[in-house]
């Protein structure tokens, strides 16, 4: 029998988030779209956040350089380039390189999902020209700026960085 002992070099990263308490934590990220960051992992180049989109809101056409996983918490949504609808309880794994435009399906007129984005998010116009991008470092900077401007301060941002 092998006995496994706790490492003396581990960092206690146990986090319990109470992010839902303050509505100012939701950062605008698009037309009628908001993001609630829960984790920025600099070492893995990834971030975890809830995405909320309402009404006829969208998230710009984009491509992921790496895979993305998501879980629908509420509402209905899809990608304009696909013929399916995600509903509460649906899980998605998007392959690297997929290009899509997230929209709210009119069935419920809103959506909230938890996404784990690995690597850069590249925003494209209709001609596939890069118009913007996000990676974990850009997301951290955007959220820090937003938190300063709305009065939350930067400590909340630091608490999310690993």
Residue 10 has pLDDT above 60, yes or no: no
pLDDT in tens, 65-122: 999 999 999 999 999 999 999 999 999 999 999 999 999 998 899 999 999 999 999 9
Instruction: Give me 77's structure tokens.
Output: 């949504």
* DSSP structure string for the chain: ----PPPTT---------GGG-GGG-EEEETTEEEEEEEEETTTTEEEEEEEEETT-EEEEEEESS-EEEEEEEEEEEETTSS--EETT-EEEEPTT-EEEEEE-TTTSEEEEEEEEES-EEEE-TTS-EEEEE-HHHHHHHHHHHHHHTT--SHHHHTTB-
Does 60 reside within a domain? Answer: yes
Does 13 reside within a domain? Answer: no
Looking at the structure of the chain, the number of domains it has is: 1
Instruction: Give me 9's structure tokens.
Output: 């070099």
pLDDT in tens, 113-146: 999 999 999 999 999 999 999 999 999 999 999 9
Does 147 reside within a domain? Answer: yes
Q: Is 59 exposed, middle or buried (0-12, 13-18, 19+ CB in 10 A)?
A: buried
Strand-pairing partners, residue 97, are none
Does 143 reside within a domain? Answer: yes
Range of the domain at 118: 23-158
Q: What's the CATH number where 125 sits?
A: 2.60.120.10
Using pLDDT thresholds of 50, 70 and 90, give the confidence band for residue 49.
very high
Residues 6+ apart with CB under 8 A from 105: 75, 76, 77, 78, 85, 86, 111
Q: What is the pTM of this model?
A: 0.87
């Amino acid at each position: 029998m092998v006995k496994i002992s706790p490492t003396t070099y581990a960092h206690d990263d146990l986090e319990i988030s109470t992010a839902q308490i303050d509505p100012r934590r939701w950062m605008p990220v698009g037309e009628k779209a908001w993001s609630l960051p829960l984790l920025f992992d600099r070492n893995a180049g990834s971030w975890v956040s809830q995405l909320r989109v309402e009404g006829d809101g969208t998230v710009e056409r984009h491509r992921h350089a790496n895979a993305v996983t998501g879980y629908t918490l509420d509402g209905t949504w899809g990608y304009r380039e696909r013929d399916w609808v995600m509903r509460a309880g649906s899980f998605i794994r998007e392959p690297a390189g997929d290009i899509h435009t997230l929209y709210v399906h009119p069935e419920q007129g809103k959506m909230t999902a938890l996404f784990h984005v690995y690597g850069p998010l590249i925003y494209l116009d209709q001609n596939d020209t890069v118009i913007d991008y996000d990676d974990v470092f850009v997301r951290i900077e955007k959220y820090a700026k937003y938190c300063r401007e709305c009065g939350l301060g930067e400590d909340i941002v630091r608490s999310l960085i690993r």
